[in-house]
Amino acid sequence: MGVFVDELKVWKSGKRRTCHLTADTVSELREFAARVGVPPQCWHEGARTPHYDLTTRLRDFVLERGAVFVPARDQARARMAGRQAAPTTALGRMHLYDSVAPSGNAYKVRLLLTHLDIPHDRTSLDILATPPETRAPEFLEKNPAGRIPVLELEDGTVLPESNAILFYLAEGTPYVADTRLGRAETLRWMFFEQYSHEPYVAVLKFHTYWGERDNLDPTRRRDLLARGQQAIEAMESHLSTRTFFVEDRYGIADIALFAYTQSAEAIGFEVGRHTQQWLERVRAQPGYVPIKTDPLGHAP
């Protein structure tokens, strides 16, 4: 079950932009509209597919209250499946190597695997041990860099690096853009996440919960906060006019940036209104799962 909105389209007059609010069933659509306060006059009487016509303002309004963005061409499959269209298990069973402590980079992969309903096994390694289990010879054979996550495919091929794994899994699914420019924009934000966001937000999170929290050099902490805040403000600016990062549809750029941004406010960053609303839209996606709990009890 779900309630969906599609992309905004310009009327032939060029003076107004609207989108459609639809749902799995008419009763669910009517109930949602009444509950959140969609004006009754927005109902499109006699339409082949029951829907409400929404302006830009109303579109943002219903997205903030639980509606999910799904492109118009995907809505039929999404309503049938109760979630966005996903591939079959043709990729075969996979094996994900993640960590005992909740890792944002590993979480990205687990979230997309869950969205796509891809069967997989999981081995959690203790990266806080001395030495870390990721430095064991058998793991270094899989990834000489000694880092998680690592995804092992059914044929034994090993793929490290979280964003490379996301791009591999998303191929041919609604989670990556169809256009050449859209795919380039997706990579732009995934590179941004790894070079301008993760080195500061993720590193400060690690030191806050598992590293040398009280011994972190104050100058180093200020630098992490300042550089991470710059990245979060860049996100806020981008999201001030967009629902998601690329082509106004949820995809792997959002997954990459969500992983650590969801914890940013708790560790000292200021997260703006548009970014907070985007975080809620990600959490409202069909198939969403939260990051794993910390078995050590250090992270909330």
pTM score > 0.85 for this model? no
**pLDDT on residue 278:** 97
Q: Per-residue pLDDT averaged across 42-70, rounded?
A: 83
**pLDDT on residue 211:** 77
**pLDDT on residue 200:** 97
Which single residue is written with the structure tokens 């790894």?
Answer: 194
Q: Per-residue pLDDT averaged across 244-272, rounded?
A: 96
Find the range with the poorest average confidence among 9-13, 123-127, 173-177, 295-299. Answer: 9-13
Considering only residues 34 and 13, tell me which one the structure prediction assigns the higher pLDDT. 34
**pLDDT on residue 212:** 66
Q: Catalogue all structural domains in the chain, each as residue range(s) with its CATH number.
A: 3-81 (3.30.780), 89-170 (3.40.30.10), 180-283 (1.20.1050.10)
Q: Which amino acid is at 231?
A: A
**pLDDT on residue 83:** 39
pLDDT band at 298 (very low <50, low <70, confident <90, very high): confident
**pLDDT on residue 90:** 58
pLDDT digit string, tens, across residues 60-113: 899 998 888 887 655 544 443 443 444 434 577 899 999 999 999 999 999 999
The chain-wide mean pLDDT, for the chain, equals 87
**pLDDT on residue 297:** 81
Residue-wise DSSP of 223-236: HHHHHHHHHHHHHH
**pLDDT on residue 166:** 97
**pLDDT on residue 299:** 79
Cα Rg of the chain, angstroms: 21
Residue 64 CA to residue 67 CA, distance in Å, equals: 7
Q: Which amino acid is at 61?
A: F
Is the pLDDT at 123 greater than 90? The verdict is yes
pLDDT band at 121 (very low <50, low <70, confident <90, very high): very high
- Secondary structure, 3-state, 87-152: CCHHHCCEEEEEECCCCHHHHHHHHHHHHCCCCEEEEEECCCCCCCHHHCHHHHCCCCCCCCCEEE
Q: Are 34 and 26 in contact (CB under 8 A)?
A: no
Is the pLDDT at 160 greater than 80? The verdict is yes
**pLDDT on residue 85:** 42
**pLDDT on residue 214:** 60
Residue 157 CA to residue 160 CA, distance in Å, equals: 10
**pLDDT on residue 14:** 54
State phi, psi for 48 to the nearest 5 degrees.
-60, -40
Task: Give strand pairing partners of 121.
Answer: 95
Residue 252 CA to residue 158 CA, distance in Å, equals: 20
**pLDDT on residue 8:** 77
